[in-house]
A and B are shown apart, each in its own frame.
Chain A
Amino acid sequence: MSLTLISFLLFVLKAFVVVMFAMNVAVILTWADRRQGAMIQDRVGPNRAVAWIPTFVAQGLALGPALLVVGAVAFALLKLEPPPEELGQRAMLFSQLGILFTWLTFAVVAGKVQTRGPQSSLDGWLSGIGDPRRIFYAGLIAHFLALFVGLALNDSAFGPQIRALGYGCGAGLLIFSVLGGAAYAAFSIRNEPRVGLRLAGLLHPAADGLKTIFKEDFIPPNADRLLHSLAPFISFFPALVVMAVIPFGDTLCFTIKNGGLGSLMSSMPRDGVCQAAGSLRLQVVDLDVGLLYFFALAGTGIVGAALAGWASDNKYSLLGGVRAASQMVSYEVTMGLTLVGAVMVYGTLRVDKMIEWQSQNAWGIFVQPVAFFLFFTASVAESKRIPFDIPEGESEIVAGYFTEYAGMKFAMFFFAEYIAVVTSAGLMSAIFLGGWDLPFLYRDGVHIAIGGTVLFEQGLPHVLVVVVGALGFVLKTLTLCWLQLMIRWTLPRFRYDQLMRLGWRKLLPASLANVLATGLIVMAIVSAGPEVGQFMALLADCTKAFLAIGGLGGLIYFIVFLVKPVHKRQTLSSSSAQYAIAAGGTRSSRMSA
């Protein structure tokens, strides 16, 4: 494809999206890391950064998007007359969305009223309902009722009326709840001189990052000035650009107009392949070397740490730099070898092709389970986080290779570490967790089928499939990031020799054995007859069913976890704490446990 202006702009846009994704998730991770520590101590955690905005701007922020949504819904209602065969789908969509936004708005407002106390008659009515969780339960019931009524009566004699009712009422509910919620928010802040934007504390790490720009840029007197300044960039840059080969969504298909991209396809057949001219790949660069690019860049990151250690003219830095270099080189070997097995199975180095293979067969974690755990371990070691943080082990060698860094250069090392967590999680979710693939979601919609038995089928528009897949990729990446965060808060760190022993004597032989076993199994399956192939396909479907059920269970568990009330046990309450409460000093006694 020749480089036209459009494709160049698209490239810039994709690069921007990927960089923003990596950096924002890294900021969120920084926040989550500190929040985790705070929660163990019953503190709120980093939440003090606040951006003050004038009240009318805040009101505009609340009302503007709401008016846009209302306008879009009204436009769809009045101008886009749905064809009769799509009315059912549209009615279901609108009614479910309407119910969702209605209970969500009520629950949020009721929760707010509960914490700050009723101020108007509406507040009084809302607090009369009691626990805001009741609104959630009512909403859940309404969701199921609407779904049941829609499915049961769709084909009955009342079908057309029901469809029209669902369509109209759903849209009405949507408009009412979105507009009502925004209006309530705008109304309730009318007397405030200004409104603080806190984003649950997410501004705090951003503010900390900004602060480092204004700090002194300290370079030790005897340091190598050039290398000392270069090292953070060498360490920061590769961590960021690794994301370029990871696709964050399925290829978007367009019609072809004048040899370029036309309009978006409304739907795709299940095995539909986009024509090259009409496809928009959701990855920044389209490299045949794929994984090799990742290894090349991950190897470059080592240089940054080693240089920083050497150029700082500090013995602790030197120790840290040497540790970093040897550790990352050792684990690089394991990383490479574990992926050899995956490459053998997928038969490609391109990450997008790997995801396609996984969507047609089974996720990599089922095909290469050992490789997944080995790769996960090695990539935690590559990102130099606990339990592998010996290059910076703060209790042994102060801060390791970045001891002599301050200000923004320190922040770049710090940030590079978190970005490495995000990019390695993204790569792992692409290679082992199917990337944008979700079980039973194909290009044309949902097909739930085990072997030849079809259980459920529902066509979906092309753009919706791609967007849901991209959200799935984000969710998997965040889950893996969260897992690494939990590891960081659970495990102590290795000693230098124990780490080397683990890398060379355990992980390396294990990854070699994995390559050998994979080779033998792949050969056996290829040379076996078609019955084995069918059996494998059945197994693959079973893994999808397992994933779908597991994912649904996890989602339900998560919702239950969110909804479950938290009981704090009061162990003892000292008189000074009681005085403090009486004086309005603290919101609650410090001595709860």
Chain B
Amino acid sequence: MEPLDQELDEAELEMPTEPMLLNVGPAHPAMHGTVRCVMELSGEIIEHVDVQVGYLHRGFEKMCERGTWTQVFPYVDRCNYVSPMLNNVAFALACEKMLGVTVPERCQWYRIILGELARMSDHLTCDGAMAMELGAFTPFLWMIKAREMIWDLLEEETGARLTHSFGRVGGMASPPTDNLKDNARAVTQHILSVVDEVEKLLLGNRIFLDRLEGIGVISQADAISLGWTGPCLRATGVAYDVRKASPYLKYGELDFEVPVGTTGDCFDRFMVRLAEMRQSARIIEQACQRMADKGPVNIDDPRIILPPKEEVYNTIEGTIQHFKIVMEGLKLPAGEVYAYTEGGNGELGFYLVSDGSGTPYRVRIRPPCFLITAGLERIITGAMMADVVPSFGSLNMIGGECDR
């Protein structure tokens, strides 16, 4: 007997399908308000994706060229707004490299302590937000509560919670408070307990592991060729950390490890960040031990550092000095310099060009996020729609830094 549908071609029986074009972002909750992905979906599978950045472009680099070198600090605050202190320190170090000066030891320790606290706040935010976007709300609230304590400490030190503008070329805006060490120890202790609790809650959870393991994988070679740095690169197994590879401040004298992953998936990125928080706690403890309680914080150079207010009001030299630095700005010698540090997300570089006047000729920021976001397309093509959430979350793309 002949089949009934003998005249019909198989192809005609099937409904013609075409991939669904879906615009995700920039106002989509998973895109953090700063990125747009145009996806071609076949069911839940992403066949093609076009990642578009630039929604938070505010022209920072150009704006830097209209003030003095010191007036750049508020701008770098707003680059990585999750760990602004690291940006402050990095920019200050770049200017000091150009001047050829080194800040006193006490200031170096101070910068390390504040910077590592900022790094912790960066990692807490990233891991917490990642868990929250996967639906696990409790770890997010724990971690944000811990981050709140870091910000309280930074508020106590700098007077501002988020945008500190605390770095200065040749030092810091004010010396450390008397209870800095006690507070830093208390905060790190609390954060370590939060990290332990989060590990207990999440790492034994099959659903959480299934959502992260083998998702958003990138190979070592690809990560390096894309220019990835920081926790995302270390998750692939490359132990590149600027603090170890080319130590700045006092990092060369400190005892800490560089945690690395093996597979370069979302889970490794999550774990590397957790492990780095523990290393940051070690660094803070060592810095607290070795930082002197007394001593100068700023370098003793009237051409770079503002005189104390008493002198400004009472002596002619002080007034003139203050006037020159404020009105004309620091005179960085003509030339160019590239200085790089380990930011929250990787290598944070400042390429500065000076023409010898008090105003930057060019400030170019090398943000780790821009290069990392370039790899997003590669790690989510072929994945499912829901995998975008942990993949993008684990890259910790910070819009302000990426788009500048």
Question: Which chain A residues have a beta carbon within 8 Å of chain B's beta carbons?
Answer: 37, 40-42, 315-316, 319, 386-387, 389-390, 393-398, 489-498, 571-572, 574-577, 590-591, 593
Contacts and interface: CB of A to CB of B under 8 A. Distances in A.
Interface string B335-347: 0000000000000
Interface string B220-253: 0000000000000000000000000000000000
Given A396-B388, A492-B135, A572-B186, A387 B30 contact: no
Interface string B2-34: 000000000000000000101000001110000
A572 B135 contact: no
Interface string B119-160: 000000000000111111110011011101100110110000
A242 B208 CA distance: 33
Given A390-B386, A497-B384, A591-B149, A492 B155 contact: no
Interface string B100-128: 00000000000000000000000000000
Contact of B137 (A489, A497, A576): A489
Interface of B: 20, 22, 28-30, 44, 131-138, 141-142, 144-146, 148-149, 152-153, 155-156, 179, 182-183, 186-187, 190, 201-202, 205, 207-208, 210-211, 384-389
Given A40-B141, A491-B207, A591-B149, A497 B44 contact: yes
Given A492-B211, A593-B190, A40 B156 contact: no
B175 to A, nearest CB: 15
A136 B292 CA distance: 54
Given A319-B44, A396-B389, 16 more contacts: A41-B141, A316-B22, A387-B135, A395-B29, A395-B389, A396-B388, A489-B138, A490-B136, A492-B136, A492-B207, A496-B44, A498-B211, A572-B152, A574-B153, A577-B152, A590-B152
29 contacts: A37-B137, A40-B141, A42-B145, A315-B20, A389-B135, A395-B133, A395-B389, A396-B30, A396-B386, A491-B136, A491-B205, A491-B207, A491-B208, A492-B131, A492-B136, A492-B202, A493-B134, A495-B210, A496-B44, A496-B385, A498-B210, A572-B153, A572-B179, A572-B186, A574-B156, A575-B156, A576-B156, A593-B149, A593-B190
Contacts of B210: 494-495, 498
A37 B141 contact: yes
Given A41-B141, A41-B145, A393 B156 contact: no
A393 B187 contact: no
Contacts of B155: 574, 576
A571 B191 CA distance: 11
Contacts of A593: 145-146, 149, 190
Given A495-B387, A572-B152, A386 B145 contact: no
Give the interface centre of B29, B134, B156, B208 by most chain A CB atoms within 10 Å: B134
Contact of A496 (B179, B187, B386): B386
Top 3 A-B pairs, shortest CB-CB distance: A493-B135, A492-B134, A492-B136
Contacts of A490: 136, 138, 201
DSSP majority for the B interface?
Answer: helix
A489 B136 CA distance: 7
Contacts of B179: 572
B102 to A, nearest CB: 31
Contacts of A386: 135
A571 B22 contact: no
A492 B205 contact: yes
A243 B27 CA distance: 40
A387 B209 CA distance: 13
Contacts of B44: 319, 496-497
A40 B201 CA distance: 14
B384 to A, nearest CB: 6
Nearest to A399: B29
Contacts of B149: 571-572, 591, 593
A41 B143 CA distance: 10
Given A496-B384, A572-B153, A491 B141 contact: no
B385 A319 contact: yes
Given A315-B20, A577-B152, A593-B145, A397 B385 contact: yes
Contacts of A489: 137-138
Contacts of B202: 492
A42 B146 CA distance: 12
Contacts of B133: 395
Give the interface centre of A319, A396, A491 by most chain B CB atoms within 10 Å: A396
A493 B384 contact: no
A395 B156 CA distance: 35
A40 B145 contact: yes
Contacts of A574: 152-153, 155-156
B152 A591 contact: yes
Contacts of B384: 495-497
Contacts of B136: 490-492
B19 to A, nearest CB: 12
Contacts of A394: 29
Contacts of B208: 491-492
Contacts of A577: 152
B72 to A, nearest CB: 27
A393 B133 CA distance: 9
B179 to A, nearest CB: 8
A6 to B, nearest CB: 50
Contacts of B211: 492, 494-495, 498
Nearest to A323: B44
Nearest to A570: B186
Contacts of B386: 390, 393, 396, 495-496
A319 B190 CA distance: 42
Nearest to B137: A489
B41 to A, nearest CB: 8
A223 B379 CA distance: 35
B142 A40 contact: yes
A397 B384 CA distance: 12
B185 to A, nearest CB: 10
Nearest to B386: A495
B186 A571 contact: yes
A493 B207 contact: yes
A575 B152 CA distance: 10
A394 B145 CA distance: 22
Contacts of A37: 137, 141
A575 B186 CA distance: 16
A90 to B, nearest CB: 50
Give the interface centre of B131, B135, B210, B388 by most chain A CB atoms within 10 Å: B135
Contact of B28 (A387, A398, A590): A398
Contacts of B137: 37, 489
Nearest to A40: B141
Give the interface centre of A40, A390, A492, A493 by most chain B CB atoms within 10 Å: A492
A319 B24 CA distance: 13
B30 A395 contact: yes
A491 B131 CA distance: 10
B129 to A, nearest CB: 10
Nearest to B177: A575
A410 B317 CA distance: 69
Contacts of A571: 149, 186-187, 190
A529 to B, nearest CB: 44
A495 B44 CA distance: 10
B143 to A, nearest CB: 11
A574 to B, nearest CB: 4
A20 B253 CA distance: 68
B121 to A, nearest CB: 15
A310 to B, nearest CB: 14
B144 to A, nearest CB: 8
A577 B135 CA distance: 32
A160 to B, nearest CB: 60
Nearest to A316: B22
